[in-house]
Amino acid sequence: MGWFGGSSKNYHFEMFSFSHFFIIALLLIVATSIFLYRDRLKSDKTRNWEIGVAISLIIIEVTYHIWMIINGSWDVSHAIPLELCSISLILNIILLLTRKKIIYEILLFTALLGASQAIFTPLLNYDFPHFRFYHFFYTHLMSIWVPLYFTWAKGYRPTIWSVLKLFIFLNVLMPIIILINKLVGGNYMFLSHKPSSTSLLDVLGPYPWYILSLEGLLITLSLIVWGLFREKTVKTELERNLPIS
């Protein structure tokens, strides 16, 4: 079964091909629609959709692991969901099921910064209509659309403390992943070494200093995201008419 097989021979993906541009356009169209129709999406009737999306993400992720097992590519060194985008997917599902704001506060940053980079510069071998193409882009697109939905339709907003929570979350998570990398011979979140291909990490210094540089970059970008999505202070008519002393 070619579309569910392990070979990309007939499904070779090329960056900025028609299928890639289609995904980028879809990302922008749906994100714009969420913003434009945010008032309609405030209805409690959307709760069933939230649960449905969460279930669909669980199903497609479980199917992805089944695909790896069937095709002999599942290995503990790379298949555990410990990459930042995989962690964002898990947070995505939890947020949809629980609506917990603390999950949103972390997901907004990890998803928008990680998933957006993955969509625009995907590390992917399989093109449409292979299963892996669907899995990769569906999970990453949802990782962006869901926090945008909770921001614009449900009124969730990050605070400056959200950035601090992200910092704490990452620094609790990193030692655990470093230990797991040592135990399984993995390179989750590139905490063991830089990727073999050219990447942003090449300009962030040698190992292990690029890890600190990357964390600093993530916090800086998170502050930008906070500035864009934070609750804007609206002055009342009285405040606007007060004389300046």
Sequence-distant (6+) residues with CB within 8 A of 94 are 100, 103
Question: Over 80: is that where the pLDDT of 156 sits?
Answer: yes
Give CA–CA dist 18/23, Å, rounded.
Answer: 9
Read off the pLDDT of each residue in 154-159 and give the average, rounded to a whole number: 93
Give 137's contacts (C-beta < 8 A, 6+ positions apart).
Answer: 23, 119, 122
53-71 pLDDT, tens digit each: 999 999 999 999 999 999 9
Proportion of the chain above pLDDT 90, given as a percent:
59
The type of residue at 48 is: N
Distances in whole angstroms, Cα of residue 29 to Cα of each of 160, 173, 238? 29, 34, 39
- Whole-prediction pTM value? 0.87
pLDDT at 233 over 80: no
Q: Determine the average pLDDT of the residues in 145-164.
A: 94
Contact yes or no for 90/62 (Cβ under 8 A): no
What per-residue confidence (pLDDT) applies to 138?
97
201-208, long-range: CB < 8 A, 24+ apart: none
237 pLDDT band (50/70/90 cuts)?
very low
Q: Which residue has the higher pLDDT, 67 or 239?
A: 67
pLDDT digits (tens, 9 = 90+) for 76-126: 999 999 988 899 999 999 999 999 999 999 999 988 888 888 899 888 899
pLDDT band at 239 (very low <50, low <70, confident <90, very high): very low
Look at residue 238 in the predicted model and tell me its pLDDT: 46
Helix (H) / strand (E) containing 102: helix 101-110
